[in-house]
Structure 1
């Protein structure tokens, strides 16, 4: 008689492209999001939490020729055969909310949202299938004053979380201006947007890769094509050299002041309707921002900003961190973009059939946290709770009373809940918890009405170097009256 094989144990690991977040990481993220929320709240924006699950139809991520969602989202069919999916951003759910509650919400509607989103894409180093976004949007306002306000608010948010002025820049462009130059070089037909659509997409992607490929690489992509060092060939947009030079001149039109950049752009778009309108909007935004004190040291007009999403219809912007970091190979490089957004006047129209103006920005939370760690603003060891040790099982109520007093005084504290038989293990636990102080009361201390406080931080420093002069007059362990527990612990924490 054969023995049954034991059940296969599941692997104790998350799915590929997902990860777990522990204490300090979660605490740091919450603290940063609270700071950003404070800025958004000060600007008059209200919080909104939408469902993590939307219909695929509402998200707009589906293939028209098959009855299944796009592979870019995590989708499934419910019991009614309706396709559902995890949200892939926070903007599509906002469009659905704005349409669904259009008769109840104020107009304009100003909201911010923070939470995880999911992308069913190939994961890679630092690229996960679940990540956090932090968005702010204004729905219902056609004026570029709303776009300027979003840029100013983004600038304030970066500074309040610890990115100082000079270490970031908010770059602004306008898709209408870009459409104007594409119209001039023959890649955009105002009457038939399908004309040369593929070539236009190649050109836009080439413009967006200017920082990566440089002038020569972008010129190749705008004309015949580019052969990369690996031997892969990318087809070009097919522009003649003269027209490619015009696009390149547009990309390099940024000048020392926003006013000078606007002047150059105005001369380049040859009075195309879309281009002229876009240049005027950029000029107005620059004036509005300048009036509030947001000059070119924080927010600049830069024709090189494209933004990949096709639904942008006007101003587009992204926040770039300008300080240098070392990559995985030890090479210096700029940190890069942590936020992007723009105006999308046609997104709500999918639900209502009527154009609803909207503009907004999304901050990549994980990228911003990584930037703050690179600046030394985060990532330091988090201080754990004060640990009240257990010396006598029969006096658990006494120890819990100490914990309660500390907590009521606003001091983070816990009682050791493991096996108290080995006292050394209790101190090892306190060390693993990054605890600053251990509270000890055995039978002798209880009889005298005292407690012993062990300074674990000082103890660790003394263990590292017994000759530390700065610590020689400070005892690593003190005995104090039981009634002075809270005040004595606070003094030790303050030291």
Structure 2
């Protein structure tokens, strides 16, 4: 008899640029999104969920990195041969939704949404093809007050998540100012490809050195892997002027020295920033929200104020080296996005938190916090009494205590190991002796581990029987509740 061909078995492997997320991280993620939701709802935003897949033409091509075969998105054709794509952000689907429901929506329309987005980009350390965003957007408000409000929302959200004031800042710039500078140094704004190449190069200043950005603005840059990125082709005078602008909070002084006359577009953007700053100051957020000309934002569709939420503190990574996370969220005004569908200009502005990136930062802040307690585990000492153990388990659950009955087929030793892996605070044991007395034994695994570390030999262990006590069945729920409360502080 011939052997079965095992070559047809699929290899158990994770798709490149994706990752599995396990229970502790998911719990932290749920806690985090709950806190973000509370802040967003306090500001009057209401939830909306749009599909992860949209028609490709509805999403549009606005990504910062379009040098891949399908412009940075994952795309496929349906049975009607229409192209569909996984969403790359939550804003483009919102524009489609607003255009489709424009007549029935309240205006302004204020919505929040969170979910995974997908980028068909080159993965790298800390850079994944699937990541979560949490957005808040106001559609139908032309006032800069709507942009100022989102900056304040960003600050309040970070503080609600435990980021101390002074450990972050909300930076604000304006795309009109940026376009005005490009216009002033001789870049034709109608040449979209070149304009966007310049903006995307400047947007990399938080990741690359000025020298590397200068290469991207000029002839091009080769990275460590040998991949070459074509530059925007600017001359040295243009590059110097642009880098001076994004580096200096007093560009007007630089312009005066160089004899550069600011364009009307630049002046319009500056006036909007002055108005936005007045709203920020009136609300008492001037120490948290600051004008910063280095903010560019890589997405093409921004038309006015743009902003970023930046963490300013440093922590130590697993390798002991300092880690600074930088930007964990951003957004801006996009007054032309809905017009792609309707032909009419609809003002809109939004802010998006990069949940995955922010969670990584918060995990380092909270690295010393103990792992959350797992469920209480009821051990199965007698397989003929499974119904009795299930009844105990359900009594604990009905009292609001996380609990499970061991459902495997192993003996007591393996069941105890299982409870340890689940980070259980305690296990419930009832053998025939305990049952005859109407009692159960509660073994406190946390105190037991502490005692075990101090006990020197097996004899001492047997005599001590650390953190193990018997109670009547009637008092089981209360005693477990007290034990958990003790360990939760």
How many Å separate the matches in 1 of 2:422 and 2:223? 51
Corresponding residue number in structure 1 for 2:336: 346
327 and 437 in structure 1: CA distance in 2 versus 1, 3 angstrom threshold: closer
| Unmatched tracts of structure 1, length 5 or more | 255-260
Corresponding residue number in structure 2 for 1:433: 422
Corresponding residue number in structure 2 for 1:175: 175
Using the TM superposition, give the Cα deviation of residue 60 of structure 1 relative to its aligned residue in structure 2, in angstroms: 1.4
Using the TM superposition, give the Cα deviation of residue 409 of structure 1 relative to its aligned residue in structure 2, in angstroms: 1.3
How many Å separate the matches in 1 of 2:327 and 2:145? 23
**For 1:402, which of 389, 392, 403 is the aligned residue?**
392
| 8 Å contact from structure 1 (residues 62, 69) kept in 2 | no
Corresponding residue number in structure 2 for 1:488: 479
TM-score, with normalisation over the residues of structure 2?
A: 0.88
TM-score, with normalisation over the residues of structure 1?
A: 0.87
| 8 Å contact from structure 2 (residues 206, 326) kept in 1 | no
Corresponding residue number in structure 2 for 1:316: 306
Corresponding residue number in structure 1 for 2:459: none
Root-mean-square deviation (CA), in Å? 3.0
How many Å separate the matches in 2 of 1:386 and 1:363? 35
How many Å separate the matches in 2 of 1:226 and 1:23? 41
**For 2:247, which of 252, 277, 281 is the aligned residue?**
252
Using the TM superposition, give the Cα deviation of residue 434 of structure 1 relative to its aligned residue in structure 2, in angstroms: 0.7
**For 2:469, which of 478, 484, 488 is the aligned residue?**
478
- The number of residue pairs the alignment matches comes to 473
| 8 Å contact from structure 2 (residues 315, 365) kept in 1 | no
Using the TM superposition, give the Cα deviation of residue 6 of structure 1 relative to its aligned residue in structure 2, in angstroms: 4.6
Using the TM superposition, give the Cα deviation of residue 62 of structure 1 relative to its aligned residue in structure 2, in angstroms: 10
| 8 Å contact from structure 1 (residues 172, 300) kept in 2 | yes
Corresponding residue number in structure 1 for 2:15: 15
Q: How do residues 58-457 of structure 1 correspond to structure 2 at under 5 angstroms?
A: 58-61=58-61, 70-189=70-189, 193-194=190-191, 197=192, 199-216=194-211, 218=213, 235=231, 237-239=233-235, 241=237, 243-254=238-249, 270-296=261-287, 298-326=288-316, 330-376=320-366, 380-419=370-409, 422-457=411-446
| 8 Å contact from structure 2 (residues 376, 403) kept in 1 | yes
Using the TM superposition, give the Cα deviation of residue 330 of structure 1 relative to its aligned residue in structure 2, in angstroms: 4.9
| Unmatched tracts of structure 2, length 5 or more | 457-462
How many Å separate the matches in 2 of 1:88 and 1:219? 28
How many Å separate the matches in 2 of 1:428 and 1:118? 39
| 8 Å contact from structure 2 (residues 177, 270) kept in 1 | yes
| 8 Å contact from structure 1 (residues 69, 75) kept in 2 | no
Using the TM superposition, give the Cα deviation of residue 352 of structure 1 relative to its aligned residue in structure 2, in angstroms: 0.6
| 8 Å contact from structure 1 (residues 36, 157) kept in 2 | yes
Using the TM superposition, give the Cα deviation of residue 245 of structure 1 relative to its aligned residue in structure 2, in angstroms: 4.2
How many Å separate the matches in 1 of 2:444 and 2:375? 13
| 8 Å contact from structure 2 (residues 181, 262) kept in 1 | no
How many Å separate the matches in 2 of 1:247 and 1:40? 36
Using the TM superposition, give the Cα deviation of residue 17 of structure 1 relative to its aligned residue in structure 2, in angstroms: 2.0
253 and 34 in structure 1: CA distance in 2 versus 1, 3 angstrom threshold: same
Deviations 1:153-179 (A, max 9, x none): 111111111111111111100001111
Using the TM superposition, give the Cα deviation of residue 462 of structure 1 relative to its aligned residue in structure 2, in angstroms: 1.7
Deviations 1:317-340 (A, max 9, x none): 111111113467654342211111
Using the TM superposition, give the Cα deviation of residue 122 of structure 1 relative to its aligned residue in structure 2, in angstroms: 2.6
Secondary structure in structure 1 of the residue aligned to 2:313: strand
| 8 Å contact from structure 1 (residues 134, 363) kept in 2 | yes
Secondary structure in structure 2 of the residue aligned to 1:323: coil
Using the TM superposition, give the Cα deviation of residue 387 of structure 1 relative to its aligned residue in structure 2, in angstroms: 0.7
Deviations 1:430-464 (A, max 9, x none): 11111001111112112212111100011112222
Using the TM superposition, give the Cα deviation of residue 265 of structure 1 relative to its aligned residue in structure 2, in angstroms: 9.5
474 and 396 in structure 1: CA distance in 2 versus 1, 3 angstrom threshold: closer
